[in-house]
């Protein structure tokens, strides 16, 4: 009999590039799995029969259904699924967590098909909820939730859960809940299976556009190096996985730990391990602090890529967003990195509140310089999006942004098009400039293609790359019909899970052994 269903809603066009294991949901399942509860996962991003499978597990007696969501389109898919769940079994307990739920729990309670919203770390919640379902405790005794009391009474918030001090106390992620063949993370070695995992949570910095500041309140905690290496060994032994994407917010939150991790990976390589690895969150100033010896070890142990948030090439904007670094630091870090064959993905944004066209052009200039000065550099650019709860959000409001006011509207709040639907500070000319630069930035540098692990998306990338490159080289933004084509593809994907059908890896991975904790 099923006890708990984990449900992963679609994320929109992001699902086209490649689908990663649902880290948050797997994370909250580790404690209940260890306690012996039967947990199943339905991932609508890759499962075209997700409605049927959801129904099947509900009929199998599931007591709790867990949903996760980030801001934006994923909310809409979450709401559709919660509605379906309640229409099949109104008595099942539905619970919502994830970044958006943590940041805006009251707003999430607007979905009447959600009974509870989790507002802190979710790792110990589900065993308590099962105790509640089994009538061992009252709902008020479940810490870290908002719940809807019977008719008429106000939404109630229970006592917060104490933060987890030591991540190592958490049982291993129950990877056996997913079929690794359905997922990917980075495409360095096309025949190799890859997986995304986090080695830490949070970040001590304070960037104005970033939700991590609100989620983790400028704190950081990490798994020990020993624990990380054990997890890698387990993933290799059980699934044959050798390619890892460390999807941390700031992997260098503890610099010493990072150096020790590199040492451990280097030692593993010396002992014959053939790992490839890649890092999502590392700051430019931290890259500059890395010793040459550490960088060499990174290369020798299989580090293939690092992602660095630069955000802007303009000093005033960097100050406004409290990036706490400078253009000079980034350029020096880039020069340093140019000696090493590690792809470095610098991410940028445009369209910040009060940003002028000239200031945005500094960003375009810096993108070009970094890519010219380092053959391993790529520089994708995104439209700035004012998300509720981020430090810069009040400035966006001050500058004329009229935010969505209901959960339904936040669900339609698309990071790619919000500026067309909501009044804000941007004029038409600026919108076009940022939008076109952003669109081209995903396709005009071949080095970025390792991110596109979905075979269909990878093929489309190959087709479009020469055009995007030509446009980038010649600063030519006229008649960008391809943007409309991309929107159409996104719509088809949303309706028919188009890319999800191509996601499966053809090369079979080693068959999973039953999990041993
Ligand atoms: C991976 C990722 C993605 C992947 C998602 C696929 C996947 N595999 O999960 C992709 C690439 C699709 C993605 C896209 C986007 N993302 Co994103 N993403 C992340 C990232 C880097 C890691 C998520 C993760 O696995 N975290 C690790 C786990 C352990 O944490 P967690 O998911 O928060 O889960 C914990 C709790 O939240 C809770 N929990 C989670 N789910 C549930 C469910 C229940 C029932 C319970 C009880 C608890 C619970 O328990 C967990 C353990 O404590 C986060 C950063 C981060 N650190 O979270 C950003 C982050 C979630 N993304 C963010 C944003 C802004 C976006 C985009 C809008 C980016 C953009 N500009 O395009 C798009 C949105 C797409 C959409 N709207 O649908 C913001 C969220 C803002 C917000 N207010 O929600 C974050 C926080 C990044 C940031 N720096 O601000 N993203
Ligand atoms: S953008 Fe990166 S460095 Fe800045 S607060 Fe967010 S996670 Fe930290």
The residue ranges of every structural domain in the chain are 4-157, 184-503
Q: What is the b/e burial string over 458-484, where b = at least 16 CB atoms within 10 angstroms of the residue's CB?
A: bebbeebbeebeebbeeeeeeebeeee
DSSP secondary structure, 64-110, as one string:
EEEEE--SSHHHHHHHHHHHHHHHH-TTSEEEEESHHHHH-HHHHTT
Residue closest to 499 by CA, chosen among 14, 6, 2, 4: 14
Q: Are 82 and 117 in contact (CB under 8 A)?
A: no
| Cα–Cα distance for residue pair 244/228, rounded to 1 Å | 11
Q: Is 304 in the pocket of ligand 2 (CB under 6 A)?
A: no
Averaging pLDDT over each range in 358-362, 420-424, 465-469, 486-490, which range is the top one? 358-362
Under 8 Å between Cβ of 262 and 298: yes
Query: What pLDDT shows up at residue 505?
Result: 60
Q: What is the mean pLDDT of residues 115-119?
A: 94
Checking if the pLDDT of 45 tops 90, the result is yes
**Mean pLDDT value of segment 456-483:** 84
Query: What pLDDT was estimated at residue 445?
Result: 81
Bigger pLDDT: 178 or 484?
178
Q: Give the pLDDT confidence score for residue 515 in this predicted structure.
A: 47
* Residues 275 and 302: beta-carbon distance below 8 Å: yes
82 pLDDT higher than 70: yes
Query: Of 73-87, 169-183, 211-225, 432-446, which range is least confident?
Result: 432-446
Give 41's strand partners: 6
Atom of ligand 1 nearest to the CA of 389: 83
DSSP-derived 3-state class of residue 467: helix
Cβ neighbour number for residue 430 with a 10 Å cutoff: 17
Question: Closest ligand to 311 CA?
Answer: 2
Helix axis angle, 255-270 to 292-300, nearest 10°: 40
For the ranges 208-217, 289-298, 487-496, which has the lowest average pLDDT?
487-496
CA nearest 21: which of 143, 167, 194? 194
What is the total residue count of the chain?
517
Whole-number Å distance between alpha carbons of 280 and 73: 23
**150: CA distance to ligand 1 center in Å?**
31
Q: 8-40, pLDDT tens digit by residue?
A: 999 988 888 889 999 999 999 999 999 999 999
Helix (H) or strand (E) holding 266: helix 255-270
Q: Residue 248 pLDDT > 80, yes or no? A: yes
Q: Nearest Cα to 123, choosing from 151, 89, 164, 158?
A: 164
pLDDT of residue 507: 54
Contact indicator for 195, 241 with CB cutoff of 8 Å: yes
User: Looking at the predicted structure, is the pLDDT value of residue 213 above 90?
Assistant: yes
**pLDDT for 514:** 45
28 lines ligand 1 (CB under 6 A): yes
Going from the Cα of 208 to the center of ligand 2, the distance in angstroms, rounded, reads: 9
**Average pLDDT of 46-57?**
94
> In this model, does residue 147 exceed pLDDT 70?
yes
Residue 9 CA to ligand 1 centre (angstroms): 12
Backbone angles phi, psi at 123, to 5 degrees: -65, -30
* CA-proximal residue: ligand 2, atom 3 (nearest): 205
Ligand 2 centroid – CA 332 distance (Å): 20
Q: What angle do CA 396, 402, 408 make, to 5 degrees?
A: 120
* Closest ligand to the CA of 43: 1
Return the CATH fold of 184-503: pyruvate-formate lyase- activating enzyme (3.80.30)
Please give the residue that has the higher pLDDT: either 305 or 440. 305
Contact between 175 and 225 under an 8 Å Cβ cutoff? The reply is no
* Residue of 3, 70, 409 to test ligand 1 pocket, by largest number of atoms within 8 Å of CB: 70
Average pLDDT, the chain: 92
Cβ(307) – ligand 2 distance below 6 Å: no
Angle, CA 506 vertex, CA 500 and CA 511 arms, to 5°: 105
Name the region of 150 (left: φ>0; alpha: ψ -120 to 50; beta: rest). Answer: beta
Q: What ligand has the least distance to the C-alpha of 253?
A: 2
Beta bridge partners of 21: none
Least confident of 114-118, 180-184, 287-291, 316-320: 180-184
The mean-pLDDT minimum among 2-6, 116-120, 186-190 falls in 186-190
CA of 69 to the centre of ligand 2 (A): 20
pTM beyond 0.75: the answer is yes
Query: What is 4-157's CATH topology?
Result: Rossmann fold (3.40.50)
Residue with CA closest to ligand 1 atom 43: 97
Cβ(11) – ligand 1 distance below 6 Å: yes
Cα distance between residue 267 and residue 270, in whole Å: 5
What strand order describes the sheet that includes 4-8?
Answer: 39-43, 4-8, 64-68, 93-97, 116-118, 145-147, 156-157
Would you place residue 517 in the very low, low, confident or very high pLDDT band (cuts 50, 70, 90)? very low
For residue 121 and ligand 1, the question of a CB distance below 6 A is answered with yes
* DSSP for 360-410, written as a single string: HHHHHHHHHHHHHH-TTEE--EEE----TTSTTHHHHHHTT-----SHHHH
């Amino acid at each position: 009999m099923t006890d708990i269903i984990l449900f992963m809603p679609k994320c929109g066009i992001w699902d086209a590039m490649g689908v990663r294991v649902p880290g948050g949901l797997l994370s909250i399942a580790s404690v209940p799995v260890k306690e012996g509860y039967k947990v199943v996962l339905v991932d609508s991003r890759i499962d075209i029969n997700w409605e049927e499978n959801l129904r099947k597990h509900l009929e199998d007696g599931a007591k709790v259904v867990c949903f996760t969501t980030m801001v934006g389109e994923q909310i809409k898919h979450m709401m559709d699924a919660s509605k379906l769940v309640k229409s099949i079994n109104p008595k099942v307990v539905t619970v919502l967590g994830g970044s958006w739920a943590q940041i805006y729990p009251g707003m999430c309670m607007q979905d009447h098909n959600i009974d509870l919203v989790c507002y802190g770390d979710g790792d110990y919640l589900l065993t308590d909820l099962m105790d509640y379902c089994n009538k061992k405790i009252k709902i008020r005794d479940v810490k870290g939730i908002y719940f809807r009391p019977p008719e008429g009474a106000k939404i109630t918030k229970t006592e917060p859960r104490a933060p987890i001090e030591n991540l190592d106390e958490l049982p291993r992620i129950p990877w056996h809940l997913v079929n690794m063949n359905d997922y990917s993370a980075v495409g360095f070695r096309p025949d190799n299976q890859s997986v995304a995992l986090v080695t830490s949570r949070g970040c001590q910095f304070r960037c104005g556009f970033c939700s991590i500041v609100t989620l983790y309140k400028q704190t950081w905690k990490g798994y020990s190096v020993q624990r990380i290496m054990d997890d890698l060994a387990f993933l290799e032994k059980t699934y044959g996985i050798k390619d890892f994407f460390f999807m941390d917010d700031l992997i260098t939150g503890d610099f010493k730990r990072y150096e020790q991790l590199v040492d451990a990976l280097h030692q593993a390589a010396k002992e014959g391990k053939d790992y490839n690895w890649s890092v999502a969150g590392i700051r430019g100033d931290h890259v500059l602090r890395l010793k040459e010896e550490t960088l060499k070890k990174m290369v020798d142990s299989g580090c293939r890529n690092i992602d660095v948030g630069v955000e802007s090439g303009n000093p005033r904007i960097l100050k406004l967003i409290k990036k706490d670094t400078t253009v000079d630091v980034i350029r020096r870090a880039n020069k340093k990195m140019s000696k090493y064959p590690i792809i470095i993905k610098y991410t940028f944004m445009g369209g910040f509140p009060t940003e002028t066209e000239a200031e945005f052009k500094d960003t375009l200039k810096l993108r070009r310089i970094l890519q010219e000065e380092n053959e391993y550099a790529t520089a994708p650019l995104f439209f700035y999006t004012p998300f509720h709860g981020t430090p810069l959000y009040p400035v966006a409001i001050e500058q004329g942004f009229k935010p969505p006011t209901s959960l339904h509207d936040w669900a339609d709040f698309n990071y790619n098009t919000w500026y067309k639907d909501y009044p804000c500070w941007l004029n038409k000319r600026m919108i076009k400039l940022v939008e076109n630069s952003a669109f081209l930035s995903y396709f005009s540098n071949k080095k970025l293609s390792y991110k596109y692990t979905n075979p269909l998306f990878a093929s489309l990338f190959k087709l479009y790359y020469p055009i995007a490159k030509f446009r980038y080289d010649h600063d030519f933004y006229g008649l960008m019909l391809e943007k409309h084509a991309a929107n159409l593809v996104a719509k088809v994907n949303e309706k028919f899970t188009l890319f999800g059908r191509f996601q499966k890896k053809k090369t079979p991975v080693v068959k999973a052994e039953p999990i041993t904790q």
